[in-house]
Amino acid sequence: MAEKTTKRENPEENESQDDERAAGKRILLVDDDYEIIESMRLTLESRGYKILIARDGNQGLAMAERENPDLLILDMMMPKRSGFLVLEKLLRTKPSLPAIMITG
């Protein structure tokens, strides 16, 4: 019987596989807090993701429509347009866009 490997048994190999899956994937970060953007950007780029950054809701909406990211991570409360309004509008035209809503 073949032995099944789990993520716990070989974490280095699994990290490599995760990095390969991340290659070329684009994540749009929308937040007005520089420190949050930078910490997420550094972490995600180290895993192979390409990061797009918007500093407010209007910029995030325009960038999401133009760039077609693979994932959207956005803050709930931002100047100009809240994350809720951005997500509501985007899901009308891009209903399959995965999104993570954060708050700080």
In this prediction, residues 32-60 reach a mean pLDDT of 95
Residue 4 clears pLDDT 70, i.e. is over it: no
Start-to-end CA span in the chain (Å) = 49
Contact 40, 73 (CB under 8 A): yes
The CATH number for 23-102, chosen from 3.40.50.1820, 3.90.1150.10, 3.40.50.2300, 1.10.260.40, is 3.40.50.2300
Contact 49, 77 (CB under 8 A): no
Question: How is the chain split into domains, by residue range?
Answer: 23-102
- Quote the tokens at residue 17: 């596989």
Residue 39 DSSP symbol: H
Helices (H), 1-104: 11-22, 34-46, 57-67, 83-93
In this prediction, residues 14-38 reach a mean pLDDT of 83
Q: What pTM value is reported for the model? A: 0.79
